[in-house]
Amino acid sequence: MSKLYEAKNAAVVLSDITKSYRVGSITTPVLRGIDLAISREGLSVLCGPSGSGKTTLLNLIGCIDRPDQGKLTVLDTDVASLSDNELSDFRRENIGYIFQNFNLLPVLTAYENVEYPLQLAGVGANERKALSELALSQVGLSEHRDKFPSQLSGGQRQRVAIARALVKRPSLVLADEPTANLDSETGESIISLIKQLQSQHHIAFVISSHDQLVRQHADRVYSMRDGQLLPEQEARLAQFA
Ligand SMILES: Nc1ncnc2c1ncn2[C@@H]1O[C@H](COP(=O)(O)OP(=O)(O)O)[C@@H](O)[C@H]1O
Ligand SMILES: [Mg+2]
């Protein structure tokens, strides 16, 4: 498949993306020229050791942060052309985000956590109810809908977070190390669920992980080292390292 063909069908295209963090007077380059086209189909996994830049890259793709340089196209939109407000709107409308530590609101029930993004978006009560109940049932949590996060296991919390990410039917969902705080069996069930939802709903799904199990479920694996992507062959070899 040619690079051009891939780029045309891509959910995300990154061209020579750089990002540095400045702490005091010290600037540390964290992403050093990323070129990547991420398909709209299947599960794409971004792997690499801690500190290699996975979260930073996902935050750029998720429009939570902006690159210093380079061109970033998300769902056919050149994100540099958007103002900060437009960028937040774009993110809310199109992108779901799943965090390593679940990031649920502790004072809201499972159902209310899932419903919350719809409330923020001004969706009417009937539609909110239908969409939230559907999303909760898709992650197998209907019977736990009225529990608070503190009354749920880690796996159940992550399921709530997945339902919340999917409830607005985003075209792109990003998950930053979604299994890192779970035991391996629970992690496996979460990855299987993600895989199943991804293929059912034809969502572009990008997961960062250094979990071998996650890679086994991936349709594509991209390997990062020190803020750069490894060339394909090195990336394949790195999987066995
Ligand atoms: N907000 C920040 N301020 C300063 N340095 C940061 C910040 N976020 C990440 N970094 C640094 O950027 C590098 C990459 O971090 P990160 O993207 O979190 O990697 P990963 O997710 O692969 O562990 C690390 O060296 C980290 O210390
Ligand atoms: Mg990280």
* Average pLDDT of the chain to the nearest whole number: 92
Ligand 1 centre and the CA of 135: distance in Å? 32
Pocket test for ligand 1, best of 46, 50, 56, 60 (most atoms within 8 A of CB): 56
- For ligand 1, atom 17, which residue shows the shortest CA distance? 53
Cite the DSSP H helix spans in 13-153.
Answer: 54-61, 84-94, 110-120, 125-138
| Mean pLDDT, range 18-45, rounded to an integer | 94
3-state SS assignment for residue 52: coil
pLDDT, one tens digit per residue, over 100-111 is 999 999 999 999
At 231 the pLDDT is: 80
> Strands, DSSP E only, in the chain?
10-23, 26-39, 43-47, 69-74, 77-78, 95-98, 172-176, 204-208, 220-225, 228-229
- For ligand 1, atom 25, which residue shows the shortest CA distance? 51
Q: Which domains does the chain have, with CATH numbers?
A: 3-100+171-238 (3.40.50.300)
The rounded distance, in Å, linking the Cα atoms of 110 and 49 is: 32
| Mean pLDDT, range 102-121, rounded to an integer | 96
Task: Please report the atom of ligand 1 found closest to the CA of residue 48.
Answer: 22
Ligand 1 lining (C-beta closer than 6 Å): 21, 23, 30, 48, 50-56
Pair 123, 201: CB distance under 8 Å = no
The pLDDT confidence band at residue 213, using thresholds 50, 70 and 90, is confident
pLDDT, one tens digit per residue, over 145-185 is 999 999 999 999 999 999 999 999 999 999 999 999 999 99
Pair 119, 128: CB distance under 8 Å = yes
The answer for residues whose C-beta is within 8 angstroms of residue 223's C-beta and 6 or more apart is 47, 48, 229, 230, 234, 235, 238, 239
Task: Report whether pLDDT(1) > 50.
Answer: no
Angle at 79 between CA 73 and CA 83, to 5 degrees: 175
The pLDDT confidence band at residue 26, using thresholds 50, 70 and 90, is very high
Place of tokens 């990062």: 224
Pocket test for ligand 1, best of 32, 55, 58 (most atoms within 8 A of CB): 55
At 202 the pLDDT is: 87
Highest mean pLDDT among 6-10, 167-171, 237-241: 167-171
Ligand 2 centre and the CA of 211: distance in Å? 12
pLDDT, one tens digit per residue, over 42-64 is 999 999 999 999 999 999 999 99
